[in-house]
Structure 1
Amino acid sequence: MLSSKLKEYTLILASGSPRRQELLKDLDIDFTIQLKEVEEKYPQNLQAQEITDYLAALKSEPFKDIITEKEIVITSDTIVWLNNTALGKPKNYEEAFTMLRSLSNTTHEVITSICLTGKKFKKIVNDTVKVYFKELSDEEIDYYIQTYKPYDKAGAYGIQEWIGKIGITKIEGSYFTVMGFPVHKLYKELMNL
């Protein structure tokens, strides 16, 4: 349910993530998908949500000169934050294994930022969730990586997949933020535009 004023706008989701596309669709909001190639690099001095805020905004840059007055671009970024270190997407099996081993039997944070970009405005919001993992065996980690190939996921896991079902004992915050899209915050911001 969108306000009548917002219905005058075309929402553009700039994400190839099937999870983000599905979650936005679940809000009963009409949108189109447009993808632009962006190199996801950030200054090394950034910490925690500064990283996701920066990358979500960076992903909106290719659109700023081409969107019309009646278009709003939605970009997003997610990291896993463990021991003051950002875990992004693993490049290969070894990286995925190392990441999951480091998450085993610990608590970490998942941080997701959303950037809403219009012709005359840019608004960034973020959400942080605490995630608790049980101790994972090497066999469980290997099975998950071989079966689910989590190379497109921050921290090498998807909470909605097998590893989340058998490995996550508790979360503090929104499940959907861990999936990569804090839809409750997105909805609120869209209503407030």
Structure 2
Amino acid sequence: MSSAKPEYNWLWCDDNQKVTDWFLSEPDRHEYAFFYSSFINAANRTWLISIDTKPRAKKLPAHELFILDCLCKKPIPAAMLIEALKKYNKYIGGTKGDLKGKGLIKFKDDAPDIRAIRDGEKELYHLIAKYHKKHGDTRFEDTENEDREDAEAAPTEAANKNGKRPITFELAIVGGKKNDEDEDMA
């Protein structure tokens, strides 16, 4: 039987193994897939609240402000991410607490698969990169258009913000020389 440690990914951290060692040493923790998915959902919610420009936008509590600071680092220092994960674990109440199963990664009783976690992580990164690019910050490069490692994870059709597929129309060419093929379109 192998005693190799699992290799977990943690956002865009500079030392995933250090964060994994901390996570595995925690006595009061959920399974990785549940905990990390919940953290990504909470981080996404925190990010969306932070960029909301409406006058009645919510104010963020201290642990969410710390998560926000982490999200704006590229790469995130391992010690800083560990601190954010500790605060989040305390906030949700460890294993007695409520996980966030709504958001980028949806789950209930069954643990989300790794592909769904990676897709949620990439979507969060793209939201942050897009914001930074819009505001002239070059620390984050949006890799949305680059080839993905997992070709199956790439969407087959574009979707709008509501998740609905766009309606496409075919338009006939108006004007010019009329060919026999175009007669049925007239």
TM more than 0.5: no
TM-score (structure 1 length as normaliser):
0.23
Structure whose CA Rg is larger: 2
Q: TM-score under structure 2 normalisation? A: 0.24
Higher strand share: 1
Greater share of helix? 2
